[in-house]
Amino acid sequence: MTILILANYANGLYLFRKELLESFKNAGHKVIVSVPFDENVHKLTDMNVELVDTHLERHGMNPLKDLKLFASYMKIMKKTRPDAVLTYTIKPNIYGASAAKFLRIPYICNVTGLGTAIEGGGMLSKILVKMYSFSMNRAVKVFFQNKRNLEFMQNKGVAKKNAALLPGSGVNLTDHPFREYPSEEDGIRFLAVIRIMKDKGIEEYLKAAEEITSANDIVFFDLVGEYEEDEREKYEPMIRALEEKGVVKYHGHLDSVEPVMANSHVIVHPSYHEGLSNVLLEAGACGRPVLATDVNGCKETFEEGVTGIGFKPGDASALSDAIRKILALSENDRKSMGQKARLFIEKNYDRKIVISTYEQTLKEL
C-alpha cells in the first residue's frame, strides 16, 4: 500500500510515531509524509520516507489560508494516489480528511486533543464541531486518546459510528527504560517538560517554583521545552529573571529529555488539557512519580496517591500544595511510587498497542 500521513509538526511525528512509520515500511508499504518543513524535518528524511513540504499554520483560523491548505491536500493526494490517508491534529483532521473524503480515499483520523477552541464553547467551538462532523463521517476510523474526548465529540454528533480509543501515542519502553531513582542527598529536583505557553501551565509552574524555593533550599526546579512563538515575548523575560534568582533552571528545547528526566525525582505536568500526555507516559516509563492536573488526558496516566498526585488546573496554589504533599513523603515512598509507575505504564501504555491497532485497521481496508 501507499500510505499518506498528514501532520502539522515534524518533530512531534518523529518523537511519538516514528515506530509506527517504521512498522509500515517494514511491512512493505510506501510511506509519504506531508508536513511543514522546519529544522526538525531531517529526522524524517533520515527514516527514508518520502516528504512533501506543506505550508500549514498551526494556530488560528484564516478562511483563505485554510482553503489553500485544503487545495494543497487535494493536489498531494491526486499526485501521490495513496491507498490510505492518516491524519493527526486539528487542521489535517479537518482539511486533509475532507480532501480524502472528496476523492474517496480511505482515511483514518487521530484526535490528539480537543483544545480550548472546542472545549471552551462559543461560536468557534460550534463551527469546529460542525467541520469535524463533516470531515470525519466517512472515516474508516476516528481514534480518540481519552474516553472523555470521545464522549464529548459523540454527544456533539461527531464520529458516532466509527470512533475508537487508543492509549494516546503510547510509549516506547525500550527508548524509555526504567531508571533507578537518584539519590536525594543533594536535594530534590522537580522537572516540567512543556511547550512554553499559557495552556500548558507555565505560569503556575513558575509561581509554584518561586513559592516553594523561597521556603526550602533543598528543592530545585528544572524546565525543558521550546517557546510557543506568539507567547515568547511574555514568558522569556519571566523565565530569565527566575533563572537569575536561582529559582528555575531552563534547559531550552531538547531532542531527548530522557537524561534530564532520569536525573529528576518528580515530574510536574500542569497542562490545562491533553489528548493523552506523552510526557506523563515517559515519566512513568522512566520510573518517576508525577504531579499532574486532574484533567482528562493527564489523570488516566497515573494512579492517584499510588504513582502520582493530581491537582486543579490553572491554580498555582493547588500545584504548590501537591508539591508539599510529595515532599512530606519519605525518599523511599517517592522511590516506590516511581517503581509502581513503571509497572502501570508497561501494562497499559506500551506503544506496541498503538502500532498493532493501526496495522489491524489497515488490514481491514
Cell 503556575, located at residue: 204
Coil/strand/helix, residue 88:
strand
Residues 34-86 have pLDDT tens digits of 999 999 899 999 998 999 999 987 766 777 888 999 999 999 999 999 999 99
Q: Which residues of 126-164 are buried (b: 16+ CB within 10 A; e: fewer)?
A: eebbebbeebbbebbbbbbbbebbbebbeebebbeebbe
Residues 192-208 have pLDDT tens digits of 999 999 999 999 999 99
User: Which domains does the chain possess?
Assistant: 2-170+350-363 (3.40.50.2000), 188-348 (3.40.50.2000)
Cα separation of 50 and 174, whole Å? 26
Which helix H or strand E contains 291, and what residues bound it?
Answer: strand 290-293
The confidence band for 242, taking pLDDT boundaries of 50, 70 and 90, is very high
Cα separation of 209 and 272, whole Å? 18
Chain-centroid distance of CA 193 in Å reads 11
According to the model, what pLDDT value does residue 60 have?
66
Report the half-sphere exposure of 257 (CA within 13 A, side-chain side).
26
Residues 98-142 have pLDDT tens digits of 999 999 999 999 998 887 778 777 888 899 999 999 999 999 999
Contact between residue 30 and residue 17 where contact means Cβ atoms under 8 Å apart: no
Q: What is the DSSP letter of 143?
A: E
Contact between residue 278 and residue 299 where contact means Cβ atoms under 8 Å apart: no
pTM equals 0.84
According to the model, what pLDDT value does residue 119 have?
77
